Every structure is written in C-alpha cells, then in structure tokens.
C-alpha cells in the first residue's frame, strides 16, 4: 500500500519518578530507537517532537530541544501539542512528511517529567480557559471525570466495582512483565478494594498515576526501509486524529457542560468511537482483524469503555468481554499487554508513542513474556484533552 510507512526503530526510557529533565528521557529513548533502527542520527532528515511544558518563553518546545541534545545536524523540525494525543499527532506529522516526500527518515520523540499528584492548569487568573475554569469553579480534577464515567457505566450497564478491579488485576500482571513499566507488581482485587477512594466510585488503584518517561520511533518510507535491508518491517497503516462532531453529548474533559442537542440530532456514535472508526476506515481493517489493542486506561472503567468504542463488543458488553478473558493474554483480543497506563502512569507527550512502541515489539514477535502469539494487526487508542482524537493502526 502506498499509504504505509515503516517503523524501523522503537525506544523508551523507563517510566517512573526519576526527578530529571524531560530532555534526558526523550534523548535516551531517541538513542535507543536509532540504535534499534541501525541508523546514525545524521541520517535522520526530520525530527518531530511531542510537546511538554517547560518554563520560560515560549514554554512549549520539543522537536528542537531533542535535536539540540542529540547534536544539531540540520534536520527539518516540527513540534506538536495535542495533550494526550500529542504523540499520535507527532506520528501523523512524521507520516505526512514521509508520504509527501519531504523526508525519508523521521525521528518521533515524546517525553515528560510530570508533576506529582493531580494535573493542574497553568497559573494566573484565566477566565477564558475552560481548563482553568473547571478547577476554579468546580474543583473538577481529571479523576472527577473518570468517576463520572464509572458511575454512569454502573447505572446504565450494571458494571460493578469488581469489574473495574479486574481490569487493574489484568494490567498489573502485564506490567509486572514489562521492564519499562513504573509499577511492576501484581495486584489483587482485594488490594484494589482496600485502596482509598479518590473520586467515587473509583479508588487509588483504579486511576493511573502521573509519571516521568520517554518514547521514540524511527519511521521511514517503505522504499528507504527496503534499501536499508528491512524487507518486512512493522508498518503504520492508519493514524486517526479526528475532532468530535457537534453536538458532543458526553461530558468530556475539561468541559463544564455538553453541547445542546436541541438543534442538531447527535450522531449515533460517540467521539471516542469515531476515533476508532476513522482509523479502521483508513487502514481497511475492522475490530475482528485485530491481534491486540493498547488503550488509554486513565481509569479501569475507562478501559472498559474503550472495548465498546473500539467495537470489540457491543455497547454495555465490556464487563462480560473482560470476564470471559477475551482481553487477557491468550484471549481473542488482548488489551494493554504493555501493562497500560495503569502500570506506566501518565507521561503525556510520550504515552501515545509508547503505545506504538508496544505494538512494534508485539508485531515483531519480540515482546518476550508479554508476547501475543502470531500478532499481525494492532491498534492504539487515546483521546487528547480539548477534542484531539488519537488512534494508530500498525500491521506486519
């Protein structure tokens, strides 16, 4: 297919609370990705960074920061910000450059040093920022929204706290096998139930932490990959970056209210479902073709929501799919074999790239104890604050 790009290299800096600069994490991940690709940094024609916050003007700098750290070599540079979707937009930007012939080889990097505890908006008295307003007026943290979704699922679909806990049990077991994960310990349902409530009905072990971390990919044209001796590389076949459609009827971060559905009948599918559908359409695959999925489990309940939005089961069927073991290792469609955000925590600009790193390893068959047997097609899914869709489909 002409729309494909090759993944020549993948690299990560382990997640954790390391207390160092995001530049260090991203550079380490980039060096590992270059080494994995068997390429010298000077062969890279373009670098795309997923942005993070850094003090001082202009505050959001990523591409050039990593280019400087790796050694200025005159490459084309871009930086993208799309909240949690930043990594996917960075992949998309790299892909567009490769497919349009602007660059043969592109390095994609995302890294962050996250604050401890709740994410919070930048300072100042900023009444024009919905993110600032939700904190000032309502004290609505990110877990507030996860709690609302979880409680809604319990009321509408009959999900239980035990269902949510089983997501954590599954993901923690996978995280225990992943050397790049921050949390590498198995967890029991009893431990989830015994952890403190953060935002009713969700507990500490239902919600992902904030973390430091970095991830990088080396992407190239299929033609370059062949010349480079990679005859059968992992390929990226789709990147979905869609926005919602008016009116959005699910209360999403950071909104205080939904759109009104008075004038326009809402679409049958939710925003999250449209993110997945756009990726499936672009890749020419469907949920039944998937070997595995990496989804943004900001909370255990949200992972269940993704099962439905990805079409792995019908609406309301997620808890049953989980209980049947379909999303566990050896199941029909294993989800979050990396351990997920549950095991990694959030390092915002890196995470969507880290998801593609996991797909790359799985599709190469080099995921070790986490390996999904015979993996051929994988999807990643997440959603960036302020209406950024994000899904990547990779194939082998």
- Binding residues (CB under 8 A) for another protein: these are 117-118, 120-121, 123, 125, 127, 130, 132-141, 144, 147-152, 155-156, 196-202, 246-247, 249, 251, 255-264
Comparing CB distances to another protein, the nearer of 21 and 195 is 195
b/e sequence 148-181, b meaning 16+ C-beta within 10 Å: bbbbebbeebebebebbbbbbbbbbbbbbbbebb
Comparing CB distances to another protein, the nearer of 244 and 378 is 244
Rounded CA separation 207/242 (Å): 26
- Smallest distance, another protein to C-beta of residue 248, A: 10
Q: What's the token pair of residue 59?
A: 């505050």
- Smallest distance, another protein to C-beta of residue 250, A: 8
- Smallest distance, another protein to C-beta of residue 118, A: 5
- Smallest distance, another protein to C-beta of residue 53, A: 15
Comparing CB distances to another protein, the nearer of 144 and 241 is 144
- Smallest distance, another protein to C-beta of residue 15, A: 22
* CA 336 vs CA 1, 40, 258, 309, 355: distances in Å: 28, 32, 30, 15, 9
Comparing CB distances to another protein, the nearer of 146 and 224 is 146
Comparing CB distances to another protein, the nearer of 247 and 331 is 247
Helix (H, G, I), strand (E, B) or coil at 373: coil
Give the closest residue to 296 by CA, choosing from 250, 354, 249, 212: 354
- Smallest distance, another protein to C-beta of residue 322, A: 21
Residues 6+ apart with CB under 8 A from 123: none
Question: Measured in whole angstroms, how far is the alpha carbon of residue 160 from the centre of its chain?
Answer: 25
Give the closest residue to 360 by CA, choosing from 389, 380, 390: 380
Strand order in the sheet with 377-384: 76-80, 46-50, 105-113, 212-220, 5-16, 234-240, 388-395, 377-384, 292-295
Question: Measured in whole angstroms, how far is the alpha carbon of residue 305 from the centre of its chain?
Answer: 15
Comparing CB distances to another protein, the nearer of 260 and 366 is 260
* CA 3 vs CA 49, 92, 222, 251, 254: distances in Å: 22, 12, 9, 35, 34
- Smallest distance, another protein to C-beta of residue 199, A: 5
Cβ atoms of residues 274 and 383 within 8 Å: no
- Smallest distance, another protein to C-beta of residue 136, A: 4
Angle at 28 between CA 294 and CA 88, to 5 degrees: 35
Helix or strand holding residue 350 (H, E): helix 348-364
- Smallest distance, another protein to C-beta of residue 2, A: 31
Comparing CB distances to another protein, the nearer of 69 and 278 is 278
Comparing CB distances to another protein, the nearer of 1 and 263 is 263
Comparing CB distances to another protein, the nearer of 102 and 246 is 246
What are the backbone angles phi and psi of residue 23, rounded to the nearest 5°? Answer: -65, -40
- Smallest distance, another protein to C-beta of residue 17, A: 17
Comparing CB distances to another protein, the nearer of 261 and 323 is 261
């Amino acid at each position: 297919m002409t729309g494909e790009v090759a993944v020549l290299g993948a690299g990560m800096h382990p997640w954790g609370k390391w207390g160092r600069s995001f530049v260090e994490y991203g550079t380490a991940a980039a060096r590992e990705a270059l080494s994995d690709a068997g390429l010298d940094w000077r062969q890279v024609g373009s670098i795309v960074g997923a942005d993070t916050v850094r003090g001082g003007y202009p505050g959001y700098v990523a591409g050039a920061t990593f280019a400087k750290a790796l050694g200025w070599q005159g490459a084309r540079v871009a930086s993208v910000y799309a909240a949690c979707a930043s990594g996917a937009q960075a992949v998309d930007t790299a892909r567009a450059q490769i497919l349009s012939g602007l660059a043969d080889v592109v390095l994609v990097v995302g890294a962050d040093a996250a604050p401890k505890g709740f994410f919070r908006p930048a300072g100042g008295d900023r009444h024009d920022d919905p993110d600032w307003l939700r904190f000032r007026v309502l004290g609505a943290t990110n877990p507030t929204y996860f709690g609302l979704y979880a409680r809604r699922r319990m009321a509408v679909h009959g999900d239980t706290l035990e269902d949510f806990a089983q997501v954590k049990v599954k993901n923690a077991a996978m995280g225990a096998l992943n050397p790049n994960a921050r949390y590498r310990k198995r967890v029991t349902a009893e431990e989830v139930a015994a952890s403190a409530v953060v935002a009713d009905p969700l507990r500490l072990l239902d919600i992902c932490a904030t973390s430091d971390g970095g991830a990088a990919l080396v992407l190239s044209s299929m033609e370059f990959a062949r010349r480079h001796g990679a005859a059968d590389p992992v390929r990226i076949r789709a990147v979905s970056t869609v926005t919602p459609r008016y009116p959005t009827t699910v209360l999403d971060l950071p909104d205080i209210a939904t759109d009104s559905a008075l004038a326009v009948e809402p679409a049958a599918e939710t925003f999250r479902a449209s993110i997945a559908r756009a990726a499936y359409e672009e890749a020419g695959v469907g949920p039944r073709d998937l070997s595995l999925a990496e989804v943004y489990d900001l909370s255990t309940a949200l992972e269940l929501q993704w099962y439905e939005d990805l079409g792995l089961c019908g609406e309301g069927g997620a808890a049953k799919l989980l209980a049947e073991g379909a999303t566990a290792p050896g199941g029909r469609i294993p989800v979050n074999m990396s351990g997920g955000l549950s095991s990694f925590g959030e390092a915002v600009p890196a995470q969507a790239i880290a998801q593609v790193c996991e797909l790359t390893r799985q599709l190469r068959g080099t995921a070790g104890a986490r390996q999904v047997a015979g993996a051929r097609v994988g999807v990643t899914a997440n959603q960036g604050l302020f209406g950024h869709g994000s899904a990547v489909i990779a194939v082998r």
